[in-house]
Chain A
């Protein structure tokens, strides 16, 4: 079992603010890093899958970076909107056919 840590556990931001959260993971045995968004009463949906050190991915106002050498990934949301309110999950793939999930960051965007 690999330890994946996410911080903060939760945060509230005002509409229009930009925000970011962190995922930390053991840098050995790295294969892939996933970010998922999990809205209340819905299924988790994949945002990004990153495999290379230095990867940067972007989808609209959301972007992510990856540092496999130091074992962290950042998720950024620019100009937060109420519809961004969700739990953001980070998961580590280590080469075996399973993922190790962090506990998530719960984001609330206040209108």
Chain B
């Protein structure tokens, strides 16, 4: 079955700790994305990557970091610099050259709670 997996489903961390969210896809997509959802708001883009070893900041990148060492993997690290990290995080992928014109395929999400 092709798709996107995210782990874990629920994650708890203590304030001041870094935490890494996993995202893996076997769709052979070049582009991958991280979004954040907060209550009452639309999905907001954190980072995206169009190709291995390259990524760009989205609208709300502060306090986050990513890597893209393999085509199928795009982990997101929520650092202690992120002031309000409690949120639902969605990973997505698409074929290259979205330009907004190709559908995105989403993972099931990770709910992060900072205690």
Contact = CB atoms under 8 A, between A and B. Distances in A.
By secondary structure, the B interface counts as loop
B111 to A, nearest CB: 11
A98 B42 contact: no
Interface string B32-73: 010100001111110010100000101100000000000000
B2 interface: no
B30 to A, nearest CB: 10
B103 interface: yes
Contacts of B58: 98
A95 B100 contact: yes
A45 B45 CA distance: 17
A46 B100 contact: no
Contact of B42 (A45, A94, A102): A102
A79 B115 CA distance: 45
Nearest to B31: A97
A44 B90 contact: yes
Contacts of A1: 59
9 contacts: A4-B42, A46-B104, A97-B48, A97-B97, A97-B100, A98-B100, A99-B100, A101-B43, A104-B42
Given A32-B100, A99-B100, 5 more contacts: A31-B99, A34-B100, A46-B105, A98-B33, A98-B98
